[in-house]
Amino acid sequence: MSNILIVGGSRGIGAAAVRTFRSGGDNVVFTYHRSELEADALRQETGAIPVRCDVKHSDSVKIAVDKAISEMGSIDVLICNAAIADFNLITEITESRWEEIISTNLSGVFYAIRHVLPSMISRKSGCIITVSSMWGEVGASCEVAYSASKAGVIGLTKALAKEVGPSGIRVNCVSPGMIDTDMNKDVDDSAVSEIADETPLGRVGQAEEVAAVMKYLASDDASFITGQVIPVNGGLI
Ligand code: NDP
């Protein structure tokens, strides 16, 4: 049984991760930002503990981390899942939207890790799982800010794995392909079908399929894996 903090656990892949870890008997604290009703329903369904947090702000993340430690005693596994997507030509992205995407998707990961790491280092053990995207690996047209933020998450993961490996802490990244969640609700059906057709497995993925990889990376079965980017994309890239 482990103590898990899932940052961005109210919907989609994060909510699937809450269910997966809880069904395995782990203690789970998860954060939500806007989806209070969904977070409360997930609490009732799974017994996991929700805490409000805006990852764009370091202080808000610290409150969530402190709450997780006070509820569970420690954090064995940190999952940095919160993110927003944006579809726009680079010439149309405003500077404030750029800042919002980088703050949420990249700085938010930095804040969570910075607030959790000291306790992991003092215990000389821990597991951190970041969430990138196949677009962070290969880039997506009209998703320059999102792709840049997710490429940053990959760089952060690889560098941090080297830095904290000697402290017994593993850091890995899950890199999903197209997954059926709210994040893609504005993508038109023909674009989704096109991606499914180009995918060797012939479909988009489900949130539970990403959560299963998180569960594996958090387990002792992955005890010699660190600094890696694990694609969950049906073979698309
Ligand atoms: P969803 O849009 O379904 O959920 C996003 C989650 O992030 C929600 O729990 C949301 O909380 C949280 N969040 C967003 N902004 C903030 C914020 N400022 N502070 C705190 N929490 C925030 O996305 P997915 O489940 O699809 O995506 C999960 C992860 O997987 C993301 O990192 C995404 O980039 C990545 N990914 C997803 C893919 C896909 O096709 N779905 C493909 C590749 C990567 P709330 O609702 O409470 O505001």
Give the per-residue pLDDT at 57.
98
Nearest protein Cα to ligand 1, atom 15:
83
Give the per-residue pLDDT at 196.
97
Q: Taking the CB of residue 84, how many other CB atoms lie within 10 A of it?
A: 19
Nearest protein Cα to ligand 1, atom 10:
8
Give the per-residue pLDDT at 180.
97
Give the per-residue pLDDT at 94.
97
Provide the token pair at 207.
């949130």
Counting as low any pLDDT under 70, the low residues of the chain are none
Q: What is the CA radius of gyration of the chain?
A: 17
Q: Taking the CB of residue 18, how many other CB atoms lie within 10 A of it?
A: 30
**32 catalytic residue (yes or no):** no
Query: What distance in angstroms lies between residue 81's CA and the mean position of ligand 1's atoms?
Result: 6
Give me the helix-helix angle, 12-23 and 207-218, nearest 10°: 50
Give the per-residue pLDDT at 161.
99
Q: Which residues contact 231 (CB under 8 A, 6 or more apart)?
A: 134, 137, 175, 177, 237
Report yes or no: 181 and 154 within 8 Å, Cβ to Cβ. no
Q: Ligand 1, from 28, 97, 183, 192: best to mutate by most atoms within 8 Å of Cβ?
A: 183
Give the per-residue pLDDT at 153.
99
Distance CA 230, CA 35 (A): 28
Give the per-residue pLDDT at 197.
97
From 32, 111, 146, 216, active-site residue = 146
Q: Give me the CATH topology for the region 3-232.
A: Rossmann fold (3.40.50)
Give the per-residue pLDDT at 91.
97
Q: Ligand 1 pocket: which residues have CB below 6 Å? A: 8-14, 31-35, 53-56, 81-84, 104, 131, 133, 176, 178-179, 181-184
Give the DSSP per-residue string, 169-225.
EEEEEEEE-SBSSGGGTTS-HHHHHHHHHHSTTSS-B-HHHHHHHHHHHHSGGGTT-
Give the per-residue pLDDT at 69.
98
Provide the token pair at 26.
């782990």
Give the per-residue pLDDT at 12.
98
Q: What atom of ligand 1 comes closest to residue 132's alpha carbon?
A: 44
Query: What distance in angstroms lies between residue 103's CA and the mean position of ligand 1's atoms?
Result: 13
DSSP H or E run through 227: none
Query: What distance in angstroms lies between residue 227's CA and the mean position of ligand 1's atoms?
Result: 22
Query: What distance in angstroms lies between residue 166's CA and the mean position of ligand 1's atoms?
Result: 31
Give the per-residue pLDDT at 95.
97
